[in-house]
Structure 1
């Protein structure tokens, strides 16, 4: 253990210093803390809405509405969907990551990108493509097919990033002790992927709970589709509110299960020297089956949707209505850019506290945002509809309310990146700038903000991707006359106008593709930190 002789010396009451009493933060930090607290309180609005509506409904009515056959049917559908889809995504995601990162797979760099590409296709666009290709698709197994092909990259991306950074010395030690390739994988490699796997599984499960468009197209009832039907028929009726409360409870259970299954173990290399390069397992006779398997998966998850969208787009190339097409693109870009910018600004105070002044308090503030982001967009949308109508009716169906909903839904995407950027801009650099005569505010702007800018840009790009593909909250909250790519696509596809919906789907894929690639590259960099 060494002592940092460059640290500032503390004079005065040595007893207080010995007890580790922290100095009071300056006024600027206190102001940042107030902003972070306000953000956390605001982010709890959807949860407060669910609790309030449950209390207003009354115990007897709530019990009657929750414990009825329809809720049992929706619960069974949802549980079966999660129990079947999540393991399939884990197998495809981890298996694909292992082939790309740890075997002699030919063209592994191309496959690394292609396996992440399906994330650029929104699930409701994927469903549209499959329904137009196979009109008889409906029910649970169709939902499992579409959801698995849409969401397995959520497991593949973190698993590939983790595999690329695992120290091969442990595997080499296992091999020297006589363990074969398969036993080494299951006993050594797989346990080290637990964090990536549980995190990816949680993301898949939460997306399954939140998805509306993909399941509505194949007439598969889930809580989200049932809530939307209730909302449209009774305008935020009591039955819909109770379904929302059950859905939120389900989300919280998933969060607790993920935290428990993740455990407290951490896998990191702490010894001296440079980490060795992993030896790739030769596939030999399995090379062709591996190539064909990945080709089939990529064609089904990305090739077929893209082909169907292109086919319908070319079929109607001469009949695109410019007065609908161009405004939808511009409004999507406008809401995406505005929502991304606001989310970064709102998330910065919370990320700043978490990095510069870590404590149980800053962790609690962060947790409030993750709880809200785990809720489906329809619950967030219903909360804003109810609050805006009852409390501030003048803001109902305004652009500000819609952007605020986007902020709550996608704030964690910004927080993760902002924390990473701030961690690479330690406060000692600001202190050095101040020692050279720079004012504190100028030092903060020219040092900290400058170093954080790349990470903030990455977080903004991920928020932008989420906004472009968001459907349910946009349908509930968008001002009259709003036309985004997602809502216009949904309007056309709901009318079975596949030709009219195709250009909107194609644009969403084209806009999402570079953001998906950015997500893949950032996950690799994050795993290396």
Structure 2
């Protein structure tokens, strides 16, 4: 019997390790640059810049927005998921789709729609309203997935101990939802820390808006970097709090057994109030933005500020070009990292994985600020080119590609690679002939998600977009900032159309995801 070549099994090939370390270094580099840039001013000046009433105001605004919005999105997401998955709500399958559809409308497009309906909407109240309606699906999706697969036996056991239906729900069901709810809450909180378009349009200042203001208006890299360090600290604090709250309790069933699908709780006289709640939530989260887009889109042809189809086509082409490049580069960069994590779980693979996730959890403005500094100082020829822009997109969105590729690799038998090596293929040829075809569906899904995320990214694009290039997000922002609502509508509508496939993908993945 032919013996497999050295390295066919066992240690991960050295080129894979080297490529993974290079990707991790790219992701961590912006953090180091921002921190070093922030403290170039010296301790005394750094203290003076941070110990100001303005920074205290930004901290209060950011904390208030996160606390209130996360609380409201959790309540709305959990209640909507329970009504759809665990009650006799009429038309549950249609409500499930409608509760996910708001993800197809970028948050800053939602704020544009609300401002056109209510011009007086601003401050904390307006920001909470828009961000809550935009982000509650992040809680709804994971909670609904858990409720859909939860074993009815848990509630039956609680009821057999004398608990009422409501007490059984709070004692037996709600604890099972904690990991999913905490994951959704963390995602909402991180989005809020990086949010710019909504808050700038509603005139509510947070760290992200202040950082961009420092760079664009005052062109103060040091002051902006100091604020970015505070924002990095807030991101890391949120990640730590979520980890502590999640704890170490396991919620999986022991043994294969036969889980029983939970029975739908009859709503009875609460059916009408439940339908009113779901209808109101759908109208506010989906009806208002779509209705506003339709109105302003139709008004654009009769307005002097009507859009130029040629300009829209050029903007769409610029968006597609950058999004395609970012998708391809992100997938290529994700392959070695996913292979390292899936094949050999070690301290090195964990370190590389954490590096990519921490960097991607930071706001786009922080990543862009660091890449501006690097390109101006050490690579001026690529400054204001698509090279730097695509690098920023890769750092921000590589986990979207890595998660799907890693899942596909986990289902690819390692023995097939060993068989190819035993037949004389080298590591690269074996990878191309065996692993690439097996992981192609995951890679395509990752490419699609990176593509959609890139097409609607705003803050990093505002700082890094190549000279003469506009994306749908920046063109929309330019028009809406000039109060040209009719001119902004076509770009907003196009972004919604581009985002729709991602919404469908998220819904399909949530419905097909196996539950314990």
Q: If the TM-score is normalised by the length of the shorter chain, which range does it land in?
A: over 0.9
Structure 2: give runs of 5+ residues left out of the alignment. Answer: none
Q: Tell me whether 1:196 sits opposite 2:142 in the alignment.
A: no
Task: Quickly say closer, same or farther: Cα 1:189–1:479, change in 2 above 3 A.
Answer: same
Q: Tell me whether 1:520 sits opposite 2:504 in the alignment.
A: no
Deviations 1:14-66 (A, max 9, x none): xxxxxxxx98626xx11101100011011011210122012212111111111
Shift of 1:364: 0.9
Q: Tell me whether 1:146 sits opposite 2:146 in the alignment.
A: no
State the alpha-carbon separation in 2 of the partners of residues 31 and 236 from structure 1: 41
Q: Tell me whether 1:507 sits opposite 2:494 in the alignment.
A: yes
Aligned match of 2:474: 487
Q: Tell me whether 1:331 sits opposite 2:318 in the alignment.
A: yes
Aligned match of 1:465: 452
State the alpha-carbon separation in 2 of the partners of residues 131 and 109 from structure 1: 32
Q: Tell me whether 1:320 sits opposite 2:307 in the alignment.
A: yes
Shift of 1:498: 0.3
* Counterpart contact for 1:162–1:527, Cα < 8 Å: no
* Counterpart contact for 1:462–1:519, Cα < 8 Å: no
Shift of 1:293: 0.4
Q: Tell me whether 1:355 sits opposite 2:342 in the alignment.
A: yes
State the alpha-carbon separation in 1 of the partners of residues 424 and 349 from structure 2: 31
Q: Tell me whether 1:104 sits opposite 2:88 in the alignment.
A: yes
Range moving further from structure 2, 263-272 or 398-407: 263-272
Range moving further from structure 2, 433-442 or 360-369: 433-442
Alignment of 1:223-262 (within 5 A): 223-262=207-246
State the alpha-carbon separation in 2 of the partners of residues 52 and 153 from structure 1: 37
Shift of 1:80: 0.6
State the alpha-carbon separation in 1 of the partners of residues 124 and 10 from structure 2: 57
* Counterpart contact for 1:418–1:456, Cα < 8 Å: yes
Task: Quickly say closer, same or farther: Cα 1:381–1:272, change in 2 above 3 A.
Answer: closer
Deviations 1:317-353 (A, max 9, x none): 3643022110111111121111111101101111111
Give 3-state SS (helix, strand or coil) of 1:193's partner.
helix
What is the TM-score of this pair, normalised by structure 1?
0.93
Shift of 1:310: 0.8
Range moving further from structure 2, 420-429 or 236-245: 236-245
State the alpha-carbon separation in 2 of the partners of residues 527 and 201 from structure 1: 21
Deviations 1:372-419 (A, max 9, x none): 111111011100101100111111011011000000001111121111
State the alpha-carbon separation in 2 of the partners of residues 208 and 219 from structure 1: 15
Aligned match of 1:25: 11
Range moving further from structure 2, 226-235 or 118-127: 226-235
What is the TM-score of this pair, normalised by structure 2?
0.95
State the alpha-carbon separation in 2 of the partners of residues 439 and 230 from structure 1: 52
* Counterpart contact for 2:122–2:203, Cα < 8 Å: yes
Shift of 1:272: 3.3
- Measured on the aligned residues, the alpha-carbon RMSD in Å equals 1.9
Alignment of 1:161-200 (within 5 A): 161-200=145-184
Task: Quickly say closer, same or farther: Cα 1:106–1:63, change in 2 above 3 A.
Answer: same
State the alpha-carbon separation in 2 of the partners of residues 129 and 457 from structure 1: 32
Give 3-state SS (helix, strand or coil) of 1:44's partner.
helix
* Counterpart contact for 2:326–2:393, Cα < 8 Å: yes
Shift of 1:497: 0.3
Aligned match of 1:18: none
Shift of 1:489: 0.2
State the alpha-carbon separation in 2 of the partners of residues 438 and 166 from structure 1: 46
Aligned match of 1:60: 44
State the alpha-carbon separation in 1 of the partners of residues 219 and 185 from structure 2: 33
* Pick aligned residue for 1:263 from 225, 243, 247: 247
State the alpha-carbon separation in 2 of the partners of residues 236 and 327 from structure 1: 32
* Counterpart contact for 1:195–1:262, Cα < 8 Å: yes
Q: Tell me whether 1:134 sits opposite 2:121 in the alignment.
A: no
* Pick aligned residue for 2:289 from 294, 305, 316: 305
